[in-house]
Structure 1
Amino acid sequence: MHKFTFIGLFLIFLSWQSLAQQGDVQVNLGFDAGITLNDYYQNQFPAGFGGSIKGLMGASTSGQLSLTGNYLYFPIDAPLPTGENLSLHLIPVLAGYRLNFQPFFLEPQLGGAVFINRFKNAPTTYSESQLEFAFAAELGYAMESLELSLRYQHAGPSPFHLGLLGIRAAYILTGR
């Protein structure tokens, strides 16, 4: 319950700050790839890939409010009998504040992530999902219409949390 209260207060703070924002709005689409860092996921789902969309709104001359949505797919790294499949799907939504140090940026983020475990055993499919608190820190480089970044992302409670080291290449659609 404390996590949701903290997230709610953080989002209210971001909304309040955005009312007084000045500057441009930016949207970018990206390709994400990552490797898991903790043993629980590293043995079964060592690497994943997916896509993301990020919106940025100028809040000051050196910072921007951000809202990021990702989808990451982690296939199992183990042989399964024919017709069976096990995968992890991660859908984080994170709000943050980007500090711009042209051309570099640092972006801490807070939010939530939906974990979906999907098991397919022909002809049936079973899925289980849960919502968990998530945070991330992204360090990147922005060019005219391209962003490249490295991110550490953490979601879920210990000992079954997902620590992820990810890379992101994004095309800036609008702004700048």
Structure 2
Amino acid sequence: MTSDSRIGPPYFGSERETLRAFLDYHRATLAMKCEGLTDEELRQQSMPPSTLSLLGLVRHMAEVERAWFRRVFEDNDVPLVWSDEIDFQAAYDASASTREEAFTAWEAEVANSRRIEREAESLDQAGYQPRWGEEVSLRMVMVHVLLEYARHNGHADFLREGVDGTVGA
């Protein structure tokens, strides 16, 4: 991995600034875990029977961003990136994927999510989560997506170590 260029969250800040900073920190962590690897290395799977790979995680997080920001706050019917049936497992199959494909989709969804969050008047803004048939707040969405990144960045730590032995933040 290259040097750590992530910007850490503030020690003091509003709730929104803090949530935004932690979310961006975890987004940057996933990208950092993939730095310097070839497509083949990014597709390298973990221990059988799992087919989890770093590239699969990037694809999955593109789906998470889309499902929790775009589908909740803009278009409840927009399909996922890699599945028309709202199958989140489909994104994990990165066997024919490339860094360019996965990162282009993920970066586009992150940019859209950031725009939605910045345009929202408050963390109390309501959106409709079609999978639950319920309204949810922007606050809840940001926390949920942050937790998704935190969990999957733990997986990324192990995956990266398995690819080339790199460990750490």
Query: What TM-score does the superposition give when structure 2 sets the normalisation length?
Result: 0.24
Write 1 or 2 for the structure with the bigger share of helix. Answer: 2
Higher relative contact order (CA 8 A, sep 6+): 2
Structure whose alpha-carbon radius of gyration is higher: 1
